[in-house]
Amino acid sequence: DGGITQSPKYLFRKEGQNVTLSCEQNLNHDAMYWYRQDPGQGLRLIYYSQIVNDFQKGDIAEGYSVSREKKESFPLTVTSAQKNPTAFYLCASMTGGDTEAFFGQGTRLTVV
């Protein structure tokens, strides 16, 4: 089955730690995106990539980093510089402009 796989589903981070969220797609989509969702708020764009080895900051990139070494993979690292990382993180992909966005099932990150 084609789709987007995010792992892990739940992740716990201690203060001062970096953690990496995985996002893999087998849809052969060029573009991939990371969004953050907080309770009662809409999704906000963190980073996006429209081609391998290239990525751009979204609206709330501070404290996050990404890489795009392979077309199918777009991992997100939440660094210790992100002061309020507890949220639901969603990865998405698109095949091109003016097409549907497909989303993964999300990773819930909690700081303990």
Partner 1 sequence: KQEVTQIPAALSVPEGENLVLNCSFTDSAIYNLQWFRQDPGKGLTSLLLIQSSQREQTSGRLNASLDKSSGRSTLYIAASQPGDSATYLCAVDDAGGTSYGKLTFGQGTILTVHP
For partner 1, the binding residues (CB under 8 A) are 4, 6, 31, 33, 35, 40-45, 48, 50, 56, 58, 90, 92, 94, 96-106, 108
The nearest distance, CB 19 to partner 1, in angstroms, is 19
User: By C-beta, is 15 or 100 nearer to partner 1?
Assistant: 100
| Residue number with CB closer to partner 1 (85 or 104) | 104
- Cβ neighbours for 108, distance < 8 A, ≥ 6 positions apart: 9, 10, 11, 87, 88, 89
Nearer to partner 1 by C-beta: 76 or 92?
92
Question: Shortest approach of partner 1 to residue 97 CB, angstroms?
Answer: 4
Closest separation between CB of residue 99 and partner 1, Å? 7
Sequence-separated (6 or more) residues with CB below 8 Å from residue 39: none
DSSP string, 25-61: E-S--SEEEEEEE-TTS--EEEEEEEETTEEEE-TT-
